[in-house]
Chain A
Amino acid sequence: GENVEQHPSTLSVQEGDSAVIKCTYSDSASNYFPWYKQELGKRPQLIIDIRSNVGEKKDQRIAVTLNKTAKHFSLHITETQPEDSAVYFCAASRMVSNYKLTFGKGTLLTVNP
């Protein structure tokens, strides 16, 4: 089955700096890659996703890149703000029937003012 590895497990940056979180996946049939943000005590919320037919997607300060050949994808957050502090999870899925998500272990991002 699918296996998703995520690095780093913790990341501390200064406000205004960029943050990059990387994930690799094992199943070459995976073609949908969402990123979820989970603030302390709250539900995971989708912040951006990418499908395998594109290599990059951007939404304001957040971007995701995908390298299908290498089977890795990354989350980029620019101009970080303290409210970006949270745990970020990457996931992989096949866009067939049930879209079962396989998650990475998560990255605790801390943005220091």
Chain B
Amino acid sequence: EPEVTQTPSHQVTQMGQEVILRCVPISNHLYFYWYRQILGQKVEFLVSFYNNEISEKSEIFDDQFSVERPDGSNFTLKIRSTKLEDSAMYFCASRANSGSEQFFGPGTRLTVL
């Protein structure tokens, strides 16, 4: 069964550094999402992406964040200048045009020191 994949599984970075989290959604899915989960807290929506543009973003998704679909398979989340409070598990998800289920990737644990 096709799955969403994410790399790396764990990223450690210094405060102020840029990080890029990568996701490969399920092929033929058209809707893509990023969520994050700070340890012990709920999963929070960051951004949704469709037809090569952001369709909705949350208050968390400020100017430090950006998303891109650089080719036909990858979907990336970039954080330009990481802060300590960006430490979290970041989940990518994708959804087919005809379905309601969002399929989640295994997550990338981001640790900002």
Contacts and interface: CB of A to CB of B under 8 A. Distances in A.
A102 interface: yes
Contact of A45 (B33, B55, B104, B107): B104
B100 interface: yes
A61 interface: no
Nearest to B57: A100
B89 to A, nearest CB: 10
Interface in B84-109: 91, 95, 100-107
A44 B91 contact: yes
Nearest to A93: B100
Nearest to B6: A43
B35 A98 contact: no
Most chain-A Cβ atoms within 10 A of its Cβ — which of B33, B41, B43, B91?
B43
Interface of B: 4, 31, 33, 35, 41-45, 48, 50, 55-56, 91, 95, 100-107
Interface of A: 32, 34, 36, 42-46, 49, 51, 89, 91, 95, 97-106
